[in-house]
Structure 1
Amino acid sequence: MSPLPSQLDLSHIDAWVFDLDDTLYPREQGVMNLVQGRINAFMVDAVGLPSDEARILQKQFLNEHGTTLAGLMANYAIDPEKFLREVHDVPLDTLEPNPRLDVVLARLPGKKYVLTNGARFHAARVLARIGITDRFDGVFAIEDMDLTPKPAPSTYRHFIERFTIDASRAVFFEDTPRNLVPAKALGMATVLIGDSLGDGHSHELGDWIDARAPDLLDFLTPFSLKDAA
């Protein structure tokens, strides 16, 4: 059984690290469904397979390489910049501004970072739409990873080196369980956000997850109030 969020001691934390999509906003807002549609279209063009077969191959790429892009680059001659531009340039009408999250993030002690397999411009658009851009001290996107996505351990090492983070004083929030494994190995506290279903990945849950929470805002609120008090 996974620990309750209330049982997780984060009093020592001074670096709060967040995945972007389906973590800083609920999956139900549908942004990644739009991205997935663009990925499907790109896959059909890139691999020359019918849509249903291309989707099966795309899921295989996700599970074997971490992202569709990494799988495509390993097996096909594609332009990664074209991929990032086309698949992330989706309307954000369904993404709701979240002033409560802005307040809660502002009250957390220490610095805040985004660690995402998405493109830089996508992260900038999403943060601006939610209304939390100014709460973050750094964003580490797929371009900063040299296109080597989570869960590659080297990506996490480069991230903490870039921002001089003490992993033992950091907590990482993610909606994909396996992306928490390298964070835990480095010494971070780890929190799984959401139900981790419906994202195209295969999943295994284990003791690298310190706590689970269905909603990020609900999880963070007590910590922000504790600090404010």
Structure 2
Amino acid sequence: MTPTLARPDLSHIDAWVFDLDDTLYPSEQGVMALVQARINAFMVDAVGLPADEAKGLQRQFLNEHGTTLAGLMANYSIDPEKFLHDVHDVPLDSLEPNPRLADVIARLPGRKYVLTNGARFHAARVIERIGLTGLFDGVHAIEDMDLTPKPAPSTYRRFLEKFAIDPTRAIFFDDTPKNLTPARSLGMTTVLTDTPEHLAERGLVAGEGIDATAPDLLDFLTPYALKDAA
């Protein structure tokens, strides 16, 4: 069963680490559906299979390698830069600016970071679109991981070392359960930013490695920001 610690004690936290897509904005805003459609099209071209078979192979790559790109690189000769550009170059019209979230993140005690398997330019566009530009002390994207994505443990260690973060004083928010397990094993507090219903739609279960859940990120964070502001 997924823990539902609505208000865990986070007084020790001085580094707030956020996944990007479907975490800093609601999945209902549909950006990842657009990205997925681009991924599907790229897969068909790259592997030369019919759409249904290519989609099945893409899911296999995602499960086995963490990202479609990692699976493609392991099995096919592709240009990773072209992949990252093609699949992330989607319209962001559906994303809504979130000034309340910006205010809350700005008032959280400590440093703030984004840790995403997405491309750098995609992260910058999304952060700007939802109104969070200038709030993060660092953005660690797939290029910064040498294209080795979450949930590879080495990716988390590299991120922590790069920004001199003590994992026992850090909290990590992500909508994918398997991305939380390595973070927790390193000592980070972990928060799942998805609902059981949406996880089921994605064919996922919460599993282990989760300290709390935050299907509404703003609601979860607000008491900690307000406490600090007081």
TM bin (shorter chain): over 0.9
C-alpha separation between the residues in 2 aligned to 1:117 and 1:199?
22
TM-superposed deviation, 1:198: 6.1
TM-superposed deviation, 1:228: 1.2
- Per-residue deviation, residues 58-107 of structure 1 (Å, max 9, x unmatched): 00100000000000000000000000000000000000000001000011
- Per-residue deviation, residues 154-201 of structure 1 (Å, max 9, x unmatched): 000000000000000000000000000110011000000012636996
Does the 8 A contact of 2:199 with 2:206 survive in 1? Answer: no
Superposition pairs for residues 94-173 of structure 1, below 5 Å?
94-173=94-173
C-alpha separation between the residues in 1 aligned to 2:201 and 2:47?
19
- Residue 194 (structure 2) pairs with residue 194 (structure 1): yes
TM-superposed deviation, 1:6: 2.9
Gaps of 5+ in 2: none
C-alpha separation between the residues in 2 aligned to 1:29 and 1:96?
8
- Residue 16 (structure 2) pairs with residue 21 (structure 1): no
Q: Which residue of 1 aligns with 2:82?
A: 82
Does the 8 A contact of 1:20 with 1:114 survive in 2? Answer: yes
Q: Alignment identity in percent?
A: 75
C-alpha separation between the residues in 2 aligned to 1:32 and 1:134?
23
Does the 8 A contact of 1:22 with 1:175 survive in 2? Answer: yes
User: What's the TM-score, normalizing by structure 2?
Assistant: 0.96
Does the 8 A contact of 1:102 with 1:132 survive in 2? Answer: yes
Q: Which residue of 2 aligns with 1:216?
A: 217
SS of residue in 2 equivalent to 1:187: coil
- Distance verdict in 2 for CA 1:135–1:123, change over 3 Å: same
Q: Which residue of 1 aligns with 2:61?
A: 61
C-alpha separation between the residues in 2 aligned to 1:119 and 1:226?
34
Q: Which residue of 2 aligns with 1:226?
A: 227
Q: Give structure 1 regions of 4+ aligned residues with deviation exceeding 4 angstroms.
A: 198-202
- Distance verdict in 2 for CA 1:169–1:163, change over 3 Å: same
- Distance verdict in 2 for CA 1:199–1:143, change over 3 Å: farther
Aligned residues, how many? 229
- Equivalent AA in structure 1 for residue 214 of structure 2: A
After superposition, the CA RMSD in angstroms is 1.5
C-alpha separation between the residues in 1 aligned to 2:149 and 2:41?
21
- Equivalent AA in structure 1 for residue 212 of structure 2: A
C-alpha separation between the residues in 2 aligned to 1:195 and 1:137?
28
Return 212-221 or 192-201, whichever deviates more.
Answer: 192-201
C-alpha separation between the residues in 2 aligned to 1:198 and 1:90?
24
C-alpha separation between the residues in 1 aligned to 2:160 and 2:99?
28
C-alpha separation between the residues in 2 aligned to 1:227 and 1:74?
46
Does the 8 A contact of 1:3 with 1:210 survive in 2? Answer: yes
- Distance verdict in 2 for CA 1:200–1:144, change over 3 Å: farther
C-alpha separation between the residues in 2 aligned to 1:49 and 1:191?
38
User: What's the TM-score, normalizing by structure 1?
Assistant: 0.96
SS of residue in 2 equivalent to 1:38: helix
- Distance verdict in 2 for CA 1:74–1:80, change over 3 Å: same
- Equivalent AA in structure 2 for residue 143 of structure 1: E
- Equivalent AA in structure 2 for residue 181 of structure 1: T
Q: Which residue of 1 aligns with 2:174?
A: 174
- Equivalent AA in structure 1 for residue 192 of structure 2: L
